[in-house]
Chain A
Amino acid sequence: MKLFSRFKPQGGVHPDGRKDLSADRPIRVLPMPERLFVSLQQHVGAPASPVVVVGEKVLKGQLIAASQGNISAPVHAPTSGHVAAIGDYLAPHPSGLPAPTITIEPDGEDCWAALDVPIDPYALEPEEIAKRVAAAGIVGLGGAAFPSAVKLNISRKTNVQTLIINGGECEPYLTCDDRIMRERAAAIVSGIRLIQRAVGCTEALVGIEDNKPEAIAAMREAAKGTDVKVMPVPAMYPMGWDKQMTRALVGKEVPAGGRSSDIGVLVHNVATAYAVHEAVALGRPLISRLVTVSGEAVKIACNLEVPLGTPAQALFDYCGGYAGVPARLVMGGPMMGHEMPNPYIPVVKGTSGVLALTHKEIGQPVPSPCIRCSTCVRACPVGLLPLEMAAHIRVGDLNTSVDFGLKDCIACGSCSYVCPAHIPLVHYFNFAKGELAAKERAKLKQEGTKKLAEARNERMEKIARAREEASRQRAAKKAAQEAAKKAAADAAAAAAPQQEATA
């Protein structure tokens, strides 16, 4: 049955790009906001742990929270000022639940801490580069926010041969990767060379969607004379999914449950490569990022360089405020981004865009019955059957949806986007994934409880046995004593008449 789909790129949709809103706006630096709310959980893994105290003066780039455990990333002060508070604050999570945050009040000096700039960054040992990337708090800037140094170390140890730099940026509206490639191509290429050295791989491929010709030209120009190859790929969503990009560039698939390194590939985002250059060549930790501000409900769409911890509202304000009342505020792209419950959510390392969308842009479709048209099946880049998965989840049969491949779903939203019945398929899948995770946790907890209960029973039995033993011993001792007493009394009684007799 490989007659039809095997050799074609699987699935995908062509959403209305809307990139024209912001693609031609050069990067501008956002003026320092009044306060920065720097989250300690800006990455996948354990939250960073504060190393400053309230009231302490900090310099730009100074470490304010250290990484905890194997998968974690440190956090640095985005500017100079003093620590105004340490505690829970709004975080970019759709639940609106707060996260531990360090609040910094800028002093306006924007004064750098002492930076450790190597004489020749390209001569650093591979381990040293990875160490500096880890110390700079760099995480995947495409949105996944996985600590980059962890990936570098795994790839070096597994002899990865191909570095893929992801310039797909397939999400509609977002143009910050496009702009960084157009304007800072040389720094990106420098970052790519540093990653190559850190991993020890020879091949470096930059995949860029063919709807960004200026970025392709700029990157080609910057890559001249290096072994970095720029490769245009067809524009479609989700081309920026790392595994789709890998399939498009090297024709290999990452095995289910495996890592890219299993097929000798390492994937990093273009903005991550730029951050690596900043960190290793210039000694600057990751304290700002490019963010696209867009949507029909924004007056002037922009691409801004924003200090981490800036509330989204400051970005909208800089862009001239809202044009009318926005129907929905989104952090990230429209396909996979989260709704912001309010505009005061701070920018984190994984924030690629903040969008203010109108009713017309989001549409407010009412779901109708599934007509099994299978448009979702053709749209799924993973090769799943979204309609079947959703039908089983709807009636509570989560296990069958897992058999249909629920755990392989990447929640890209292609199926929901194209569904003519407007069924919120991704919502079903995320609900089911959450339920399954909760069940898994409950099961672990139950097992833990069972183990504890068993241990307790055993302990109690042991105690009871010991008690029994002790009481038996006591009884035996008592009996022995009684016997001895009796014997003594008998002996005394026996001796008394004698005494009497002798008396």
Chain B
Amino acid sequence: MTRIAHSPHAHAPVSVGKVMATVMAALVPATLYGFWLYGWPAIFLWTVTVTTAVAAEALTVRLQEKPVRPTLMDGSAILTAWLLALSLPPFAAWWVGVVGALFAVVIAKQVFGGLGQNVFNPAMAARVMLLISFPVDMTMWTTPMPLTGGHAPGLMEGLAITFGGAHWDAMASASLLGHVKTEFTRGVDLLHSLPGYFAAQDSAIGSRAGSLGETSAGLLLAGGLFLIARRIITWHGPVAMLLGVAVPALIAHAVAPAHFLGVLPEILSGGLILGAFFIITDPVTSPNTNEGMFLFGLLCGLLTWTIRTFGGYPEGVAFAVMLMNSLTPIIDRYVKPRIYGRTRKGTALPVGKEA
């Protein structure tokens, strides 16, 4: 029997694999810079996380008796693990990456039905699980020690940190948001805890304690803008999320500077830039329309600021994203494009009236 092909008889030179590859390319500068800042332990942790994710994906796909090669070639498992690795403390032990990657790929993605079917962003689901289950390991931050700086752990020391459980206590440090939170609990307000601790340029270039993905806001922003330019993502989600954090921060800081962080430290700290450009723009778990994305991003931002400011945890991006993921179907239900010749409600435009 001859198969009759259906129109269109042409296709744009795009594929899911290419989309994922472009996103990874946008992450490369920030990641390499992170490797340089945190040295061998960060490289080992990243490698372990990504390798585990790929192996877990292959195994689960095989168990489902689906073709393994095309699934791995789409690159989604690598990207998920990559984003997860960027959100971990760089000196975390190997098993943190392994447990996180397994959770992300097996529980958060494949159990739901694989690529395109998951309700929650797998990387964020894994990060939240790790943070709740292993709060100590997930908040052991380290001051950056550039590879070329001389203080950095060498190859063997790096192996010991990642795989041998060795501690590098001398360099332990708190992230900005964690520091602020801790100081609050001691009764020290921002006017006393912040000076000397925050400088915008530090966050922008990344010489501040944090995860791989929060150290270099500048490079992540550049990656995000690259994705917008390549039309992989639109500006609506990221801009709205930044607004969602910046606007309440601006107002609150103006009212009570001793209790609320200002706009710059809020935006440049934690996983906000990574979240705004790389996490909430995950197509699977975010709304369909540009308008929906704007609403989604705005609420993600507001929730992030609320959790950071009033919640028990210093950082709120992952929680905010997961909460909003569950709202995506509802946003999609109510925010739809207007159909040609119809009103927003779907009824035909009145005849004889200009549209």
Please report the C-alpha to C-alpha distance between residue A361 and residue B339 in the assembled complex, in whole angstroms: 32
Please report the C-alpha to C-alpha distance between residue A96 and residue B3 in the assembled complex, in whole angstroms: 12
Contacts of B289 in A (CB 8 A): 374, 377, 385
Tell me which of A1, A383, A419 has the highest count of chain B C-beta atoms within 10 A of its own C-beta. A1
Stretch from B9-17, B80-88, B142-150, B154-162 that touches the partner: B9-17
**Interface residue A483 (Cβ < 8 Å from any Cβ of B):** no
Expressed in whole angstroms, the minimum distance between the Cβ of A448 and any Cβ of chain B is 29
Q: Which of A16, A253, A372, A419 contacts B116 (CB 8 A)?
A: A372
Contacts of B283 in A (CB 8 A): 371-374
Known interface pairs A243-B340, A365-B11. Does A1 touch B335 (Cβ–Cβ under 8 Å)?
yes
Expressed in whole angstroms, the minimum distance between the Cβ of A393 and any Cβ of chain B is 14
Q: Which of A368, A378, A416 contacts B16 (CB 8 A)?
A: A368
Contacts of B342 in A (CB 8 A): 255-256, 408
Give per-residue flags for A357-376: 1 if the beta carbon is below 8 A from chain B beta carbons, else 0. Answer: 10001110110111111110
Q: Is the CB of B337 within 8 A of A3?
A: no
Contacts of A372 in B (CB 8 A): 116, 283-284, 286, 288
**Interface residue B341 (Cβ < 8 Å from any Cβ of A):** yes
Count, A-B residue pairs, CB within 8 A? 187
**Interface residue A113 (Cβ < 8 Å from any Cβ of B):** no
Q: Which of B10, B294, B355 contacts A15 (CB 8 A)?
A: B10
**Interface residue B354 (Cβ < 8 Å from any Cβ of A):** yes
**Interface residue A405 (Cβ < 8 Å from any Cβ of B):** yes
Interface set, chain B 26-80, CB cutoff 8 A to A: 70, 74, 76
Nearest residue, chain B, Cβ from A337: B7
Contacts of B234 in A (CB 8 A): 378
Known interface pairs A341-B4, A426-B6. Does A377 touch B337 (Cβ–Cβ under 8 Å)?
yes
Contacts of A10 in B (CB 8 A): 337, 340
Contacts of B340 in A (CB 8 A): 10, 243, 247, 253-254, 256, 381-383, 408
Q: Which of A362, A408, A411, A420 contacts B9 (CB 8 A)?
A: A362
Q: Is the CB of A418 within 8 A of B6?
A: no
Please report the C-alpha to C-alpha distance between residue A375 and residue B114 in the assembled complex, in whole angstroms: 20
Q: Is the CB of B288 within 8 A of A374?
A: yes
Q: Is the CB of A4 within 8 A of B355?
A: no
Expressed in whole angstroms, the minimum distance between the Cβ of A400 and any Cβ of chain B is 12
Give per-residue flags for B290-304: 1 if the beta carbon is below 8 A from chain A beta carbons, else 0. Answer: 110010000000000
Q: Which of B7, B76, B291 contacts A336 (CB 8 A)?
A: B7
**Interface residue A245 (Cβ < 8 Å from any Cβ of B):** no
Q: Is the CB of B341 within 8 A of A384?
A: no
Q: Is the CB of B338 within 8 A of A383?
A: yes
Please report the C-alpha to C-alpha distance between residue A405 and residue B294 in the assembled complex, in whole angstroms: 23
Known interface pairs A263-B352, A337-B7, A371-B283. Does A408 touch B12 (Cβ–Cβ under 8 Å)?
no
**Interface residue A229 (Cβ < 8 Å from any Cβ of B):** no
Nearest residue, chain A, Cβ from B73: A368
Please report the C-alpha to C-alpha distance between residue A409 and residue B44 in the assembled complex, in whole angstroms: 51
Expressed in whole angstroms, the minimum distance between the Cβ of A434 and any Cβ of chain B is 12
**Interface residue A335 (Cβ < 8 Å from any Cβ of B):** yes
Q: Is the CB of A258 within 8 A of B70?
A: no
Expressed in whole angstroms, the minimum distance between the Cβ of A233 and any Cβ of chain B is 17
Q: Which of A373, A384, A385, A405 contacts B19 (CB 8 A)?
A: A373
Nearest residue, chain A, Cβ from B346: A405
Q: Is the CB of B338 within 8 A of A257?
A: no
Interface set, chain B 98-126, CB cutoff 8 A to A: 114-117
Interface set, chain B 302-355, CB cutoff 8 A to A: 332, 335-342, 344, 346-352, 354-355
Expressed in whole angstroms, the minimum distance between the Cβ of B22 and any Cβ of chain A is 10
**Interface residue A220 (Cβ < 8 Å from any Cβ of B):** no
Nearest residue, chain A, Cβ from B289: A377
Q: Is the CB of B10 within 8 A of A363?
A: yes
Interface set, chain B 255-297, CB cutoff 8 A to A: 283-284, 286, 288-291, 294
Nearest residue, chain B, Cβ from A340: B4
**Interface residue A78 (Cβ < 8 Å from any Cβ of B):** no
**Interface residue B185 (Cβ < 8 Å from any Cβ of A):** no
Q: Which of B9, B16, B288, B341 contacts A337 (CB 8 A)?
A: B9
Q: Is the CB of A256 within 8 A of B341?
A: yes
Known interface pairs A328-B5, A341-B4, A370-B116. Does A383 touch B11 (Cβ–Cβ under 8 Å)?
no
Q: Is the CB of B10 within 8 A of A371?
A: no
Please report the C-alpha to C-alpha distance between residue A96 and residue B2 in the assembled complex, in whole angstroms: 11
Contacts of A263 in B (CB 8 A): 352, 354-355
Contacts of A252 in B (CB 8 A): 354-355
Q: Is the CB of A262 within 8 A of B288?
A: no
Expressed in whole angstroms, the minimum distance between the Cβ of B122 and any Cβ of chain A is 13
Expressed in whole angstroms, the minimum distance between the Cβ of A170 and any Cβ of chain B is 12
Nearest residue, chain B, Cβ from A414: B8
Expressed in whole angstroms, the minimum distance between the Cβ of A14 and any Cβ of chain B is 9
Q: Which of A262, A383, A411 contacts B351 (CB 8 A)?
A: A262
**Interface residue B18 (Cβ < 8 Å from any Cβ of A):** yes
Interface set, chain A 394-429, CB cutoff 8 A to B: 405, 408, 411, 413, 416-422, 424, 426-427
Expressed in whole angstroms, the minimum distance between the Cβ of B18 and any Cβ of chain A is 7
Q: Is the CB of A405 within 8 A of B16?
A: no
Q: Is the CB of A405 within 8 A of B339?
A: yes
**Interface residue A299 (Cβ < 8 Å from any Cβ of B):** no
Q: Is the CB of B9 within 8 A of A385?
A: no
Interface set, chain A 27-74, CB cutoff 8 A to B: none
**Interface residue A320 (Cβ < 8 Å from any Cβ of B):** no
Known interface pairs A1-B291, A256-B339. Does A420 touch B14 (Cβ–Cβ under 8 Å)?
yes
Q: Which of B16, B114, B117, B339 contacts A384 (CB 8 A)?
A: B339
Nearest residue, chain B, Cβ from A403: B346
Please report the C-alpha to C-alpha distance between residue A382 and residue B336 in the assembled complex, in whole angstroms: 12
Contacts of B18 in A (CB 8 A): 420
Q: Is the CB of B9 within 8 A of A339?
A: yes
Please report the C-alpha to C-alpha distance between residue A387 and residue B70 in the assembled complex, in whole angstroms: 21
**Interface residue A239 (Cβ < 8 Å from any Cβ of B):** no
**Interface residue A430 (Cβ < 8 Å from any Cβ of B):** yes
Please report the C-alpha to C-alpha distance between residue A334 and residue B5 in the assembled complex, in whole angstroms: 11
Nearest residue, chain B, Cβ from A335: B8
Interface set, chain B 209-240, CB cutoff 8 A to A: 234, 236
Q: Is the CB of A365 within 8 A of B348?
A: no
Q: Is the CB of B336 within 8 A of A385?
A: yes
Nearest 10 Cβ contacts at the A-B interface: A413-B8, A253-B355, A256-B341, A256-B348, A373-B283, A383-B337, A255-B349, A369-B116, A334-B9, A427-B6
9 extra interchain contacts, Cβ-Cβ under 8 A, other than A335-B9, A339-B7, A363-B11? Answer: A243-B340, A255-B342, A335-B10, A339-B4, A373-B283, A374-B288, A385-B289, A416-B11, A419-B14
27 A-B interface contacts by CB (under 8 A): A1-B335, A4-B294, A15-B12, A243-B340, A253-B340, A255-B348, A255-B351, A256-B340, A256-B347, A256-B348, A334-B9, A335-B8, A335-B10, A339-B7, A365-B15, A368-B16, A372-B288, A373-B283, A374-B288, A377-B289, A378-B234, A408-B341, A411-B7, A413-B8, A416-B7, A421-B116, A426-B6
